[in-house]
Amino acid sequence: MKQITRYLQNKIIFALLLLCSISNAQNIAPKVKRIVFLGNSITWQANYVNDVIAYLVVNYPNRHFDFINLGLPSETVSGLSEPGHADGAFPRPDLHERLQRVLAQAKPDLVFACYGINDGIYMHFDTGRFRRFREGINWLHNEVVKSGAQIIHITPPVFDELRAGELGLGANYAAVMDRYASWLLGMRVSKKWQVIDTHFPMKNYLEAHRKVDAQFHLDDFALAGDGVHPDETGHWIIAREILVYLTGKKAAYYPSAVKSLSKNRNGNVILQYITERQNMLRDAWLTATKYKRPGLPAGLPLDEAMRQSDVLGRRIDSLILAGRK
Domain contains 20: no
Domain contains 286: no
Spatial contact of 177 and 115, defined as CB atoms under 8 Å apart: no
pLDDT of amino acid 26: 52
The CA-based dihedral angle spanning residues 31, 34, 40, 43, taken in that order and rounded to the nearest 10 degrees = 100
Confidence of residue 169 (pLDDT cuts 50, 70, 90): confident
The beta-strand segments (E) located in the chain are 34-39, 66-69, 110-114, 150-154, 194-196
Domain contains 76: yes
Percentage of residues in the chain having pLDDT higher than 70: 92
Tell me, what CATH number does 127's domain have? 3.40.50.1110
Domain contains 146: yes
pLDDT at 9 > cutoff 70: no
Spatial contact of 179 and 125, defined as CB atoms under 8 Å apart: yes
d(CA 168, CA 282) in angstroms, rounded, equals 31
Among 18-27, 77-86, 87-96, 164-173, whose mean pLDDT is lowest? 18-27
Number of structural domains the chain divides into:
1
> What range does the domain containing 61 cover?
31-257
C-alpha angle 31-274-321 in degrees, rounded to nearest 5: 80
Backbone angles phi, psi at 39, to 5 degrees: 170, -160
Domain contains 305: no
Q: 264: how many CB neighbours lie within 10 A of its CB?
A: 21
284: exposed, middle or buried (Cβ count in 10 Å: 0-12, 13-18, 19+): buried
Mean local confidence (pLDDT), 14-23? 32
SS3 label, residue 109: coil
Strand-pair partners of 67: 35
Mean local confidence (pLDDT), 35-64? 96
In sequence order, the 6+-apart residues with CB closer than 8 A to the CB of 56 are 26, 63, 65, 243, 246, 247
Domain contains 164: yes
Signed CA dihedral, 35, 312, 274, 117: sign only: negative
Domain contains 101: yes
51: exposed, middle or buried (Cβ count in 10 Å: 0-12, 13-18, 19+): buried
d(CA 38, CA 202) in angstroms, rounded, equals 20
Q: What is the pLDDT of residues 111-149, one digit of tens each?
A: 999 999 999 999 999 999 999 999 999 999 999 999 999
- Name the residue type at position 296: L
Strand-pair partners of 37: 69, 112
Domain contains 325: no
